[in-house]
Amino acid sequence: MAFDYVASYDAVEAQLAMNTPPSRILHELSAFGQENEPHEDWQKMSGIPINAEPDAFTEWLQQLLTREHPTAEVVVLWFGLFNPVDDAGRVSMGLYVAGSNSEDPYESGVEDYWVEGRYFTSQVLDTIYQAAYESENGLGNNAEYMLGLGYASSLVKYASQRLGVLLAIGGAESRKIVVGFDNGDSIDIGSVTSEGFQPVKTAK
């Protein structure tokens, strides 16, 4: 059975609409994965510890935006998923924040807000990636796509709900919050104005 990426994307959106927290998102999405493409590794993915990473991410983002805030022209905060490679050649999955003056960051790029401290080191994303590719017959991109996108999106939503208007720092009237893969799919998390953060309430 071929993995259904459209259905897995819809599953991520559905979990976000239900406000599933980072502490539960891997469990829920792994259960969906097991139901739609049975594999022994989904159970391992379900048990990846989250610990205090959501709060650490929220604190990191708060400090970064306060120290190096976007200009008022930045209308999208982009939280990008990518695959960093260290000096030893070890590949991982990472997350960074950037920004665009355009409503379409895929077309215009996200270098309008591009600061040195933009990278967040996520132990959870790294663990997902290593578990996905540790064996030749592992889940591979199926897990990287659904669990990476799902966890990162729930992480960003968690932080957005707590930081609120800070996400519009720099004078933006409205700023969209988007999570996505570089050169891949993305999900709108919500938007922030002077009244605070407003999440996307329903899946498409």
Question: 52-85 burial, b for 16+ CB within 10 Å, e for fewer?
Answer: ebbeebbebbbebbeeebbeeebbbbbbbbeeee
**pLDDT class of 2 with cuts at 50, 70, 90:** confident
Asked whether the whole model's pTM tops 0.85, one would answer yes
Calculate what percentage of the chain has a pLDDT beyond 90. Answer: 92
**pLDDT class of 49 with cuts at 50, 70, 90:** very high
Calculate what percentage of the chain has a pLDDT beyond 70. Answer: 98
Question: 11-47 burial, b for 16+ CB within 10 Å, e for fewer?
Answer: bbbbbbeeebebeebbbbbbebbbebbebebbebbbe
Region 62-78: what's the mean pLDDT? 97
- 113: pLDDT strictly greater than 50: yes
Q: Are strands 175-181 and 76-82 parallel, antiparallel or unpaired?
A: parallel
pLDDT for position 125: 98
- 204: pLDDT strictly greater than 50: no
- 63: pLDDT strictly greater than 90: yes
